[in-house]
Amino acid sequence: MKNPIHDTLKAGRPSIGSWLNLGSPLAAEVMASSGFDWLAVDAEHTAYDMELIAHTIRAIEARGAIPLVRSWDHDPVTIARLLDVGAWGLVFPHISTPEQAAKVAHAMRYPPLGSRSIGSARCLTITPDYRKIANDLVLCIPQIEDMDGIENAEAIVKTEGVDIGFLGPGDLAMSMGVEPGHPDHEAALQSFRESCIRGGKPSGIPVVDGAAAHRRIQEGFQFIDLINDMHLLKTAASHELSEARGQ
C-alpha cells in the first residue's frame, strides 16, 4: 500500500488538492467527490476538535481522496494524535529552520526512524499492515512562512523525513511587510521553488483559482492547494446572488 500523492509527485506530475475550513464533514465529502487528489483539514485556523477531524477524514476517504491535516503546533503529542486518527500526512505551519523540520519529521515516524508511539487507534483500520508501512505512507510537509524559512528552504527540504516543501504566501508577505504579488514577494516564492529543486523535493503553493494553479504548475510547482471550501462557497454564493439581482 502506497500513498498516491507520493507516487504522483515522484512521477513528476502535479497533485491538486484543497483546504477545508468550514468544519463540515459534508463539505469535505462534496469536495472529495469533485475529484481533488487530497484534502487538508485546517486544524490550525478552524474550530476542529479531534472527533470532528476523525469524521472529516472518514468523509474524505469515503469519496476516494487522501486526507491530510494542517497541525496547530509542532508538539509530538499533537502529531501522534493526528496520525492516529487517520491522517495520511501533516502540514506544519511556521517551519523556519531544518532543526524544526527534523523535530516534526522524527515525531511522525515509528522507531527506529522516529519516536512516534504505538497505540490502539483509528489508523490501524487503514490496512492490517499499517505499523509496517506507516513510515513510508505518511507525508511530512513543512510550511515556510517567513524569510528565515525561505533562506533555509534547501536545508529544510533536505532534512531526513521531509517529503514536500510548502509555502504560506500570505504570512510570508506579511512578514516581509509587502502585499502578495509584490515583486519581492514573487521573487521569494520563486527562490523557494528553486531551493526545493536543489533539495530534490517537490514544492507546493496555495492558489486562488484554477488559472493561477495552471500558471504555477507551468512554473514547476507540483503540490497545489486550490482555494478552500469556505472561499468556494462564498465566491459561488456572491456570484449567483449578483446574477439574480442583475448586478
Active site residues: 45
Q: Going by DSSP bridges, is the β-strand pair 203-207/89-92 parallel, antiparallel, or unpaired? A: unpaired
Please answer whether residues 71 and 50 qualify as being in contact, where contact means their C-beta atoms are separated by less than 8 angstroms: no
Q: Going by DSSP bridges, is the β-strand pair 89-92/165-167 parallel, antiparallel, or unpaired? A: unpaired
Cis previous bond, 112, omega within 30: yes
Amino acid at 91: V
CA–CA gap between residue 199 and residue 168 (Å, rounded): 19
Tell me the three state secondary structure of residue 125: helix
Q: Which three cell numbers stand for residue 198?
A: 536543489
Burial track 60-85 (b if 16+ CB lie within 10 A, e otherwise): bbebebbbbbbbbebebebbbbbbbb
**Quick one: which of 237, 85, 221 has its CA closest to 165?**
221
